[in-house]
Structure 1
Amino acid sequence: MVTPLQKPPKKNPQLRTRVPTLPSHYRSRSALFMAAAAAEGRFMLQVCAEPDCESVQYPARDACACCLSDRLVWQDVSPRGNLIATSTVRTSTNTYFRERTPWRLGTVHLDIGPSVMCHLHSELVVGDEVQLINRLDKSGQSVLLALPLERAQLQEDDMQLRELTCDPKFRRILITDARNPNAYALAKSLLEAGATTVFVGEAESWRPYPDRAKLESLQGVELVSLDVTDTSSVQELAGEFGGKVDILINNARFVRPGGIQGRGDVGFAMDEMQVNYFGMMRLAQAFAPAMTGRSADGVNSAVAWVNVLSVYSLVNNPGFGSFSASNAAAHSLSQCLRAEMAASGVRVVNVYCGPTEDEWHQPLPPPKVPAGTLARELVKALQAGLEDVYVGDIAKDIRRKFMESPKVLEKEMTSLETL
C-alpha cells in the first residue's frame, strides 16, 4: 500500500543534510538509446529487423539474441505484462539504495516476449497485470518501473516513483519572470499540482504589467525582486532564497522579430542575449550550487531546473533570426548545465515551445501555444520526470523533422517560400 506523502515540517538547521548520492550509472552505448527515449517518456526496445525474426530484445545489445543479426531497430513497443516475481532489498553496498531501503524489485514477463527486472510500485503483488514506464533515475540513466494498470489511489506518493520524477507536490518553486504572459498560468498550475510556495521574480516592480493583480490574488504566490539582467539582483535573491528553491523555472525571455540585415544595429540582439543566454548563466551561477547541495534533502529536496526555450533553438527561423540564435546559445548552455548538475541528480528539463500567444508573435498564423497549454505541459513533464518536452503542434513537427534530417529542415526553414 502507498504511504500518503506528508508535508515535511520546518527543517531543523542543526540536522545534517543528506549528501547527494547516485545509483550506478554505467551503461553501454546501446543502452544510452533507452535513456534518450526515457528523456521523452517513451517506452522503446530494440526489435530485430530481419523479416523472419522480428524478436524484441532486452536488455540492449549489439546483436539479436535469436538470429545474431546486427539489424536492431529501436521502436515504441507495448509496455504491458504480468508480474511473475518480487523481491525486497533491505540492505545494499550502493550508498544511494542503502539510504532508501526497503526497495522493491520484480520480474515482469512482457506481452511482447522478454522478461525484465524492474523497480516496483508499492501497490503491486505477484500475478498483477502491469504496465512499465521508462524513466531517468538520479544518475540520468534509463530504468524501468512497473505500475498498476488501473491508476492507484495516491499513486504519485509512492516513494520509488517519486524518486524518478520531479513532482511539484510539497515543493517550493521559483518562476523567474512575472512579466512573461505565461507566469500567472504557470503559478496557478503549480499550486494546483500541490506546490507549497511559488516565488515569482519581478523586475522593476514600479512598472505596471497586466497580470500583477492576478498573481497577487493566488494564495501561495510570493512576489520577489529579481532581474536576470542584473548580477547583483540575482545574487541577492539567491542569498535570501537559494536554499529554499526545490524547482527553478526560467521563463525569462526577450523576443523581437527580425534577423540580421533589417535591424541595422545590435541593440535588440544584445538584449536577447542578456536575457535569454546571460540571464540563464547568472541564475545558474547563483542558484545551482545551493540546489545541487540539497538534491537528497528528503520530501522537498531540490529536483529540477526548467528552461523554457523556443523550438527555434534547434533550427533558425529567419523571421525571428536573432531571437532564434540567442535561444540556440541558451540551448547549448542548458546542456552544459545538465552536465554540471548531473552528479547531484538535479534534473535539467528543457521545454521547447512553438510560437506563443503574445504580442510579438501576433502577426504569425495559428497554431500558437496559449499560456495555459504551456503551463499544463510543463507541470505534466515534472510529474512524469521528463527531460525534454515539446509544446505545441509546430514544436512537435519541428522536432520530428529535426530527427529525420537537420539539413533538410534547415533548407525548408530558409527557403524563399517561407521568408
Structure 2
Amino acid sequence: MTDPLTPTKRKDPLIATHAGHVSPALRSRAATAMAARAGEGRFVLQVCDDCSRATYPQRDRCPFCWGTLNWQDQPNGAVIEAETTIRSSVDLFFKDHLPWRIGSVRLDAGPMATVHLHGDVGRGDHVRMELKLDRAGNPALLAMPEKETPHMADDPQLRVFTADPKFRRILVTDGRTATGQALAEALLKAGADTVFLGNADPLMRYPGQDRIESMEGIEPVRLSLTDTRSIEALAGQLGGRVDIVVNTVAFARQGGVGFGGNLNNLQAGLDLEVTGLMRLAQGFAPALSARSDDGDRSAAAFVDIVSVHGLTGKAGYAGSSATAAARLSLVASLRGEMAQTGIRVMSVLTGPVDDCWHQNVPPPKTTPAQIAGAVVTALQQGQETVCADEVAKDVLSRWQDDPTLTIREENK
C-alpha cells in the first residue's frame, strides 16, 4: 500500500539544490508519434493494416508480416506476468529515484510489454495501463491499480509521470477574473499548499476579491504581464518557491480583419497575451528548470490556457484567434526547451468562455469551473493537451482529421 505523502519541511537554504536529469531523447519518428498521442491522454498501439495484429514497442513495420502500421486506440487492461525492482543504475535520472519497480505484462490487446509498476500492483494482478509521458517527453507504459487504492496518487513513481498539485505552490497569473478565481479554488481543493494569485492593478478592486483573498492558502501578489519589471521582481521574490505556473490571462474582443477590427485592441492583445507570455516564461522558466527534481515538491509544470480557435481562426474574433495562434506556437517551442530540463509544458484548450466579452456568442460556452477542472486534470494526469469543454474537443477532433476543412467551417 502506498504511504501517504506528507508536507515537505522548509528547505535548508545552505543545502545545494539537487540537479535534475531526464531520460535520453527519442530516437525514432514512431516513438515521437506515440508521445504525441500520450500527451492527449490516449492509450494507443500500432496495428498492422494487413494482419490486424497490435505490436509494441514502436516499430516502422509489422514484425509479423512486414505490413504497414497505424496508430489505434486500444483496450487498456493487462495482466502482470513478472516483476522486479531495480536497485542500481548508471543512468543519472534512475540513479536518483531508486528503488524503481518494473514488470512484464500481457496487454489485453495482445503484445507483451515491459512497463513501470505502481506501488499498489504486483505479479498476477489485472491492471489498468496508462500511456504517460516521462519528464523528457518520452512515452512510457505505467501499470495502475484497476480500482482506487488509499493514497494512490502519492506513489513516488506515479508522481514522476505527473505534475500533481498536491502540496505544491502554484502561481496563477490573473486572479481578477472568474476563471482565475475558480482555478485557485480548484487547486486548493486538489491539495495545493499555496496559490499565489496575480493582480495587475492592486489599487483597483475586482468582483469577488474579498472572498478569494480571505481563503486560507491564497497569497495575493502583484503581477502584470505587460510590465517586464513586475515579472522580474516577482520572479526574484518567488522563483525559488513556485512549483507550477498557470497562465490565465486573456484579452478577448470582437472584431474582424477587414471589417469591425480595432488595431488598438489587437496591439493590446498581442502585448498582454503573446509578449506577456514570453515575459512570463523568461522570468520563471529558469527557476522552474533549476528545481525540476528537488524532492517531493519539485517544480513541475508551466500551463497555458488558450482558445482552441488559435488552430483555426474565428470570424468575428480575429484578433483573439491570432493571439491564441501565436501562444500555441510559443508554447510548442517552450515545450521543446523545457523537455531538456524535466518541466512539463501544457496547453488547456477552451471554446468561447462564458464572460462579458462573448455575450453575442450562442451556447454552448466554457464556464470557469470547466477550465479549472481541466487544468487540475492536466496536472494530475501529466497530459500536454487537454480540452476544457465539448466545443474545444469537437474543434480539435475535426482539425486533426482535416485541418483545411475545419478552418473553413469555423470561419463561415
Normalised to the residue count of structure 1, the TM-score between the two structures is 0.97
Q: Does 1:94 align with 2:91?
A: yes
Correspondence list, 1:52-131, <5 A: 53-70=51-68, 72-131=69-128
CA distance in 2, matches of 1:234, 1:211: 24
CA distance in 2, matches of 1:135, 1:141: 8
- SS of residue paired to 1:32: helix
CA-to-aligned-CA distance 1:367-406 (integer Å, 9 cap, x gap)? 0111111101110110001000111111111101111111
Aligned residue for 2:375?
A: 378
- Give how far 1:307 is off: 0.3
Aligned residue for 1:42?
A: 42
Aligned residue for 1:354?
A: 351
Aligned residue for 2:248?
A: 251
Q: Does 1:235 align with 2:232?
A: yes
- SS of residue paired to 1:183: helix
- Give how far 1:264 is off: 5.8
Aligned residue for 1:27?
A: 27
CA-to-aligned-CA distance 1:28-62 (integer Å, 9 cap, x gap)? 11121210111011100011122xx2111111112
CA distance in 2, matches of 1:264, 1:224: 34
CA distance in 1, matches of 2:333, 2:379: 20
Name the amino acid aligned to 1:87: T
Q: How many residues align?
A: 412
Correspondence list, 1:182-261, <5 A: 182-261=179-258
Percent same amino acid at aligned positions? 43
Contact 1:226–1:234, Cα closer than 8 Å, also in 2: yes
Q: 2:408 aligns with which of 394, 405, 411?
A: 411
CA distance in 2, matches of 1:367, 1:60: 39
- SS of residue paired to 2:317: helix
Contact 2:293–2:299, Cα closer than 8 Å, also in 1: yes
CA-to-aligned-CA distance 1:106-150 (integer Å, 9 cap, x gap)? 000112211100000111121111111000001101001001111
- SS of residue paired to 1:344: coil
CA distance in 2, matches of 1:239, 1:324: 32
Q: 1:364 aligns with which of 361, 366, 371?
A: 361
- Give how far 1:265 is off: 4.5
What is the root-mean-square deviation of aligned Cα atoms in Å? 1.0
Name the amino acid aligned to 2:109: I
CA-to-aligned-CA distance 1:200-251 (integer Å, 9 cap, x gap)? 0101111121121121121100111111101111111111111111000000
Contact 2:26–2:32, Cα closer than 8 Å, also in 1: no
Name the amino acid aligned to 2:317: F
- Give how far 1:261 is off: 2.6
- SS of residue paired to 1:261: coil
- Give how far 1:362 is off: 1.2
- SS of residue paired to 1:15: coil
Contact 1:184–1:214, Cα closer than 8 Å, also in 2: no
- Give how far 1:16 is off: 1.6
Q: 1:274 aligns with which of 246, 271, 274?
A: 271
Gaps of 5+ in 1: none
CA distance in 2, matches of 1:408, 1:130: 40
Name the amino acid aligned to 1:134: L
- SS of residue paired to 1:271: helix
Name the amino acid aligned to 1:58: Y
Aligned residue for 1:4?
A: 4
Name the amino acid aligned to 2:22: L
User: Which deviates more, 189-198 or 263-272?
Assistant: 263-272
